[in-house]
Amino acid sequence: MTAEPSNELRIAYGGQAVLEGVMMRGRRSLAIVVRHPLGQIALRTLALDPRRLSQRVRRVPVVRGAVGVWEMLVIGMKALNFSASVQLAGAEGPAANGSDGSDAAERGTSGFVTGSVLLGLVLGVGLFFVLPLFLTSYTDTAITSDVLSNIVEGLIRLALFLAYLWLIGLLPDIRRVWMYHGAEHKTINALEAGEQLTVAKVQRHSLAHPRCGTGFLVLLVLLSIVVFALAGRPPMVWRVLSRVALVPLIAGVGFELMMFLARHRRRWPARLALQPGLVVQRLTTRQPTDDQVEVAIVAMDRVLALENQLVELRPVAVPATVVADDRPA
């Protein structure tokens, strides 16, 4: 069956699930939409600086990927901070002036969320890059091949990564984030299919997407096996330093590879290479509710409007007014 005509044009976009909400990003702007505990939708839009570093190095392969990944982490921190502030404001009740109270709450959560994400980044490097190396040291006496040793290290890294995703998915709050992650993917898949973004039509689409951050992390784990195998098996101190120092390189190469595979995903070699990431996405996505899909649609609509690719914003069926807060990044 042919899809109905759509007024949403193809743009460069991405997304991220946050606390009770979704962030959608275009070329020049992004929108963070969060469901307030009182039922209304809180919205923040940010203009992306056209002079940002990723734009200045956009013609330099690998470097642009590493810089882009870092900028996505920074933007992700801002999105998480806003979503946390909305939930905190809701827990404290409506503000006296009738606003959602998120501004005051955001000032209180900014340092905490930023510190938590940075701490998580450090712990992530330690858990998924350094710890496997130390665990592999116990098998090195029985393994003479440098390549085989690095493969064992990579398999341990992959096992730790999958176990981590499964364990945190048992937490109720994380399961809610996974549901919004599913809503984000369904909305982007519907847009790519040329569908009108309505809740019913978005819900028909897949939970998986080839440009997902989960798939990107799986690709990094697999790519690290190749990169570290080329580094051989130097003394332990140098091996530890190499695991940390080579993370930006692996991220840059992984970004380029992910974009290449996504562009050619209709060809069977690319589909095969993307399959591990699509399978692991089953751990990080859940079937969203209609209310959660509505939040993702509002975020995408706002980005499309800011990118001048949506003629008219669709009405939002929520029990309270949308809270808009436009500001530069």
The per-residue pLDDT for 95 is 46
* Half-sphere exposure of residue 171: CA atoms within 13 angstroms, side-chain side: 9
β-strand partners of 222: none
CB atoms within 10 A of CB 313: 12
The per-residue pLDDT for 127 is 83
Residues 6 or more apart in contact with residue 262 via CB below 8 angstroms? 210, 211, 270, 274
Cα separation, 59 vs 256, in Å, equals 12
Tens place of pLDDT for every residue, the chain, 329 residues? 334 444 444 556 789 999 999 999 988 889 999 998 888 889 998 888 877 877 788 888 889 888 888 888 888 888 988 898 888 876 665 544 445 555 555 555 556 656 666 777 777 878 887 888 888 888 888 888 888 888 898 899 999 999 999 999 999 999 999 999 999 999 999 988 888 899 999 999 999 998 898 999 999 989 988 888 888 888 888 888 888 888 889 999 999 998 898 888 889 899 999 999 999 999 999 999 999 999 999 999 999 888 876 656 666 655 444 454 555 55
pTM confidence score: 0.84
CA-closest candidate to residue 45, choices 292, 304, 320, 291: 304
DSSP 8-state secondary structure symbol assigned to residue 323: B
The per-residue pLDDT for 103 is 57
Cα separation, 20 vs 7, in Å, equals 28
The per-residue pLDDT for 194 is 85
Structure tokens at 93: 């009740």
Residues 6 or more apart in contact with residue 231 via CB below 8 angstroms? 239, 242, 246
Describe the crossing of helices 146-168 and 268-284 by its angle, rounded to 10 degrees: 40
